[in-house]
Structure 1
């Protein structure tokens, strides 16, 4: 039986030098994103979202990236879920992408803001019908007695919206993580990994530094 401590992978696919990276971290992320897309990684947009209460109690879960640009990185959820309540009381978060096929990680830290109602409406309208109904039917993060309760709620909303446009629930929408720090990690042999960190400065320029692995 393999010991947990003996499980290890030797990283040797690529390297990351300061001379190779873009001056802007979003541009650099876009390059790595394109490489990840071309690598046919399963659920390439899956990312760990870490939040915390005002007292510092941490929480983490996987969510899906739904967009990124110079403004930040976006995802959608129920505002009344645990993560929604945590973000309302402490609007700071961290994201982590792990693309093991490329032996890469990207860590993003920043402040959080809600997307506009218009942005949330546009994305909600693009979702499959079942997902739109599910947003109404599920009291996300709340205790439910049985799965039947959820399924009955779904059927009730399905009946209510039959033949109609399904509006976005007022308790559902998008968030944007506005990055203050982004780190790009490339696995290297002997655990001497490449770590390039971008930190936003007061003049809104990005400082690029190498971190020890």
Structure 2
């Protein structure tokens, strides 16, 4: 009989993740949706950085970035990524890894339009991850973009979302004496039934 009860109970890992995120939103002091995103370059050298999770959908998670950034180039090159949400206030984390597709349709347009004007103008001005001569040159470019794009800039063609469709999801909760609780949901390919295992801490 499974001992997957309490905070681990449920038949839908995305719903469990949404519940945990909801709890973190009430207890975490800053950015409960901040996640570490891991990618690899064409030589297989890994990169990791913090990004903001925007949506836990029915079968995936979505975040937004510049497609021409280092992370964007690595995701487009490999089609795979991994992430972790870690909440110190809850002493819990969620890890996912899987396949990645772009989210660049109406949903991306709607999210871009919902951002502050300064963030939208910044997305047009920043050549993310590429060398920058000075902050002054960046601010000058922002001023130029502001003059040309006005108060309602559309979404840049090189900016949008990425959707991670996981093949593996792990839920981790802190336990006494470092005897943590860990449950991993795995599947061979998208659409397969999940196989759920308890892991040693």
Pick 1 or 2: higher relative contact order, CA cutoff 8 A, min separation 6: 1
**What's 2:43 paired with?**
55
Q: Does the 8 Å contact 2:53/2:63 carry over to 1?
A: yes
Instruction: After the TM superposition, list the runs of 4 or more consecutive aligned residues in structure 1 that deviate by more than 3 angstroms.
Output: none
Instruction: Indicate the RMSD between aligned Cα atoms, in angstroms.
Output: 1.4
- Whole-angstrom distance in 2 between the partners of 1:211 and 1:31: 21
Instruction: Report the Cα offset of residue 204 of structure 1.
Output: 1.8
Q: Secondary structure at the match of 1:139?
A: coil
Which sections of structure 2, spanning at least 5 residues, go unmatched? none
Larger radius of gyration: 1
* TM-score calculated relative to the size of structure 1: 0.88
Counterpart of 1:154 in structure 2 is 142
The TM-score with structure 2 as length reference comes to 0.93
Matched residue, 2:54: 66
Q: Deviations over 1:68-109 (max 9, x none)?
A: 111300000000000000011101001101100010011111
- Structure 1: stretches of 5+ with no match in the other structure: 1-16
Partner Cα separation in structure 1 for residue 148 and residue 70 of structure 2: 27
**Do residues 204 (structure 1) and 192 (structure 2) align?**
yes
- 8 Å CA contact 1:77–1:172 kept in 2: the answer is yes
Could you tell me how far apart the structure 2 residues matched to 1:149 and 1:141 are? 15
When the two structures are aligned, how many residues end up with a matched partner?
A: 196
Aligned-partner SS, 1:157: helix
